[in-house]
Chains A and B, each alone.
Chain A
Amino acid sequence: GDSVTQMEGPVTLSEEAFLTINCTYTATGYPSLFWYVQYPGEGLQLLLKATKADDKGSNKGFEATYRKETTSFHLEKGSVQVSDSAVYFCALSDWFSGGYNKLIFGAGTRLAVHP
């Protein structure tokens, strides 16, 4: 079945460092790909998405490109801030004929950014 694998954390960085969190997926169809973020004490929030190959999702300085050839969707940010400290989840969703989307998540990567 479909699955998502992301790099284990925690990832610890200094403020203004470059961030990469790797994510690869396995899917039989043509999934949409997502990054969700969970800030301390808050619910899951959609950070960015890409719905087809070569699409780039971006939001709040974060970017990820849907690479079908390498089945990857790595998250990057050029300069992290302390406020980016959170748990990041890579996810995929196949479209179902009933018109709904079932999200499949990776295990999550905790990011800690220090001043």
Chain B
Amino acid sequence: GAGVSQTPSNKVTEKGKYVELRCDPISGHTALYWYRQSLGQGPEFLIYFQGTGAADDSGLPNDRFFAVRPEGSVSTLKIQRTERGDSAVYLCASSLTSSGQMGSYNEQFFGPGTRLTVL
């Protein structure tokens, strides 16, 4: 079946511009995560959605970053007034909803990422 897809695969923009990055999760996955991977680093958590709501946005670096998931499927990460330091690969992952049992884990399936370059 189809995995997680992300568009565009590459985005080059100028400092100060607005960008939108899209994530299509695996069908039926209600949990969706965004991560950011800077060059030479591991991915860092940005935000988690359960259904349509952002249940944890503690990783968003500042208020220029915002994400939505209006129908509980596709998600869009929005970055306003981009800065050169925003250049990174933005990863999306989806998973089934947790059983709620403490310590349980549902595998997160990652998309190929969007490489954002801010000039």
Interface residues of A (CB under 8 A from B): 4, 30, 32, 42-46, 49, 51-52, 89, 91, 93, 95-96, 98-108
Contact = CB atoms under 8 A, between A and B. Distances in A.
Q: How large is the interface on B (under 10, 10 to 19, 20 to 34, 35 or more residues)?
A: 20 to 34
Given A95-B103, A98-B55, A100-B31, A105 B44 contact: yes
Contacts of B113: 43
B56 interface: yes
B91 A44 contact: yes
Contacts of B45: 102-104
A107 B41 CA distance: 4
Given A44-B91, A99-B97, A100-B55, 10 more contacts: A30-B103, A32-B103, A45-B110, A96-B56, A99-B99, A100-B48, A100-B56, A101-B98, A101-B106, A102-B56
Given A43-B113, A102-B45, A32 B40 contact: no
Contacts of A108: 40-42
Nearest to A110: B40
Contacts of B55: 98, 100
A51 B31 CA distance: 20
The interface residues of chain B, by DSSP majority, are classed as loop
Interface majority SS (helix, strand, loop, mixed), chain A:
strand
Interface in B1-31: 3-4, 31
B112 interface: yes
A93 B102 CA distance: 12
10 contacts: A43-B3, A43-B110, A43-B111, A43-B113, A46-B108, A49-B105, A91-B42, A98-B55, A100-B98, A105-B42
Interface string B42-75: 1111001010000110010000000000000000
A93 B50 contact: no
B48 A102 contact: yes
B110 A44 contact: yes
